[in-house]
Amino acid sequence: MLAETIAAVRPADPQALADARAHQDRLTKPRGSLGVLEEIAVRLAGAAGVTPPPMPEPAALAIFAADHGVYARGVSPWPQEVTVQMVANFLAGGAVANAFAAQAGASVTVVDVGVAADLPGAPDLVDRKVAYGTADMTQGPAMSADQVLQALEAGIGVARELVAKGARCLITGDMGIANTTASAALISVFTGKDPSEVTGRGTGVDDETYERKIGVVREALRVNALPGAFEAGEALRALAAVGGFEHAAIAGFILGGAAARVPVVLDGVIAGAAALVAAALAPASVDHCVAGHRSAEPGHAAALAHLGLRPLVDLELRLGEGTGGLLAHPTLCAAVRVMHEVATFDSAGVTEKSV
Ligand SMILES: O=C(O)c1ccc[n+]([C@@H]2O[C@H](COP(=O)([O-])O)[C@@H](O)[C@H]2O)c1
Ligand SMILES: Cc1cc2nc[nH]c2cc1C
């Protein structure tokens, strides 16, 4: 399933890109006056292979939840059971992601890929549990090669099912106490940046914990023989060594969306780390991604710069769950609607500029 999905990911279509740029310049507005929105609409045309691109709606948010062995190293101020408690909250409709999804008209799918507890009596939960949390990445690989594949394929499967049910935009979401530590480690590996540059305060650690967290990331990279310079072709090993089940599942979700030519809106630092993995496996998958927002985590900006993606929203969010991606969705829709509905200079009889 993974190999087949990777093989199906196509880069942006050059003709659709050229047509979209030309179309933007015929619309009744000064050339370039919609700034980044023009680039985004052109990008979606290239990804879809047609101009104008389909409206990216309805949108579907998938929240991938998992726990992390590295939690034992004291890298998060929150109890680990918050992961499973928030999963219950998503299912009950009580989280910020639910409120933002209602605002954006997006469906919410909650997927257990590795929560360290059971959720009895939760019929709406998509159960793709690989294990009860990863192993501690400072003791060896967080996941086995088999587990990584299982989580990646869970993400691909969820993307396929949502597209089959009619979703025309996929939004990534995550939940997992301690997952900003794993994200920092992945981003350090894939961008070559030092752990001190890409590790952040996550849910809000104090100075002492923050210093320990950087040390933990450094230790995980050393123990797993993942120095700064990353060898191409080692993406799956790196993911297994220092990633989480939700990172693997989100990477699969991105690949699944890209293979189906349905745009994927990335949320925060966890999605950024997962997108680096997806890009290493299938470089053209980046053409199908839109950076929903820029999280306050420093590693996120590093990941987006490496991917060449510009975030649509920058509001100092650091929540996760898909909240930043959901906030970006109406802007994405507006950018594409312009391509469908705005008159051209010819059709509206508006005179073009003279010089
Ligand atoms: O999306 C982000 O950029 C983001 C930044 C900081 C924290 N989070 C969320 O907070 C949790 C991880 O934080 P931590 O401090 O336990 O590593 C996890 O559930 C994430 O969804 C998410
Ligand atoms: C309450 C809470 C909600 C979250 N949502 C995503 N990560 C989270 C972390 C905490 C602690």
Encode pLDDT of 210-231 as tens digits: 999 999 999 999 999 996 546 5
Q: Does the interface predicted TM-score (ipTM) exceed 0.95?
A: yes
Candidate of 87, 175, 205 to mutate for ligand 2, largest count of ligand atoms within 8 Å of Cβ: 175
**Residue 96 Cβ contacting ligand 2 at under 6 Å:** no
Give tens-digit pLDDT for 2-27: 999 999 999 999 999 999 999 999 99
Query: Distance between CA 181 and CA 255 in Å, rounded?
Result: 23
Candidate of 203, 267, 269, 321 to mutate for ligand 2, largest count of ligand atoms within 8 Å of Cβ: 203
DSSP 224: T
Give tens-digit pLDDT for 78-91: 999 999 999 999 99
The answer for residues whose C-beta is within 8 angstroms of residue 241's C-beta and 6 or more apart is: 137, 141, 142, 220, 224, 226
DSSP 200: -
Q: What whole-number percentage of the chain has pLDDT above 70?
A: 98
Q: Is 321 known to be catalytic?
A: yes
Ligand nearest to C-alpha 187: 1
CB-based contact 304:270 (threshold 8 Å)? no
Which one of 57, 246, 297, 321 is the catalytic residue? Answer: 321
Q: Which residues line ligand 1 (CB under 6 A)?
A: 76, 78, 174-181, 202-203, 267-270, 295, 297, 300, 318-321
Q: Using CA atoms of 256, 259, 265, 267 in order, give the dihedral in degrees to the nearest 10.
A: 40
Confidence of residue 232 (pLDDT cuts 50, 70, 90): low
Bridge partners of 65, per DSSP, are 112, 175
- Mean pLDDT across 202-212: 95
DSSP 71: G
| Residue 120, pLDDT score | 85
What residue ranges define each of the domains in the chain, with the CATH number in brackets? 1-53+340-347 (1.10.1610.10), 59-335 (3.40.50.10210)
| Structure tokens, 10 | 């196509």
The answer for residues whose C-beta is within 8 angstroms of residue 78's C-beta and 6 or more apart is: 177, 203
- Mean pLDDT across 288-309: 98
| Structure tokens, 326 | 């959901």
Confidence of residue 355 (pLDDT cuts 50, 70, 90): confident
- Mean pLDDT across 130-139: 98
Closest CA to 282 of 253, 255, 247: 255
How much is the pTM? 0.98
Ligand nearest to C-alpha 94: 2
Give tens-digit pLDDT for 247-287: 999 999 999 999 999 999 999 999 999 999 999 999 999 99
| Residue 131, pLDDT score | 98
Ligand nearest to C-alpha 326: 1
Residue nearest to atom 3 of ligand 2 (CA): 86
Query: Distance between CA 300 and CA 83 in Å, rounded?
Result: 21
| Structure tokens, 353 | 């500029």
Taking the CB of residue 330, how many other CB atoms lie within 10 A of it?
A: 14
**Residue 86 Cβ contacting ligand 2 at under 6 Å:** yes
171: CA distance to ligand 2 center in Å?
18
Strands laid side by side in the 264-266 sheet: 126-127, 107-114, 59-66, 169-175, 264-266, 289-291
| Residue 233, pLDDT score | 72
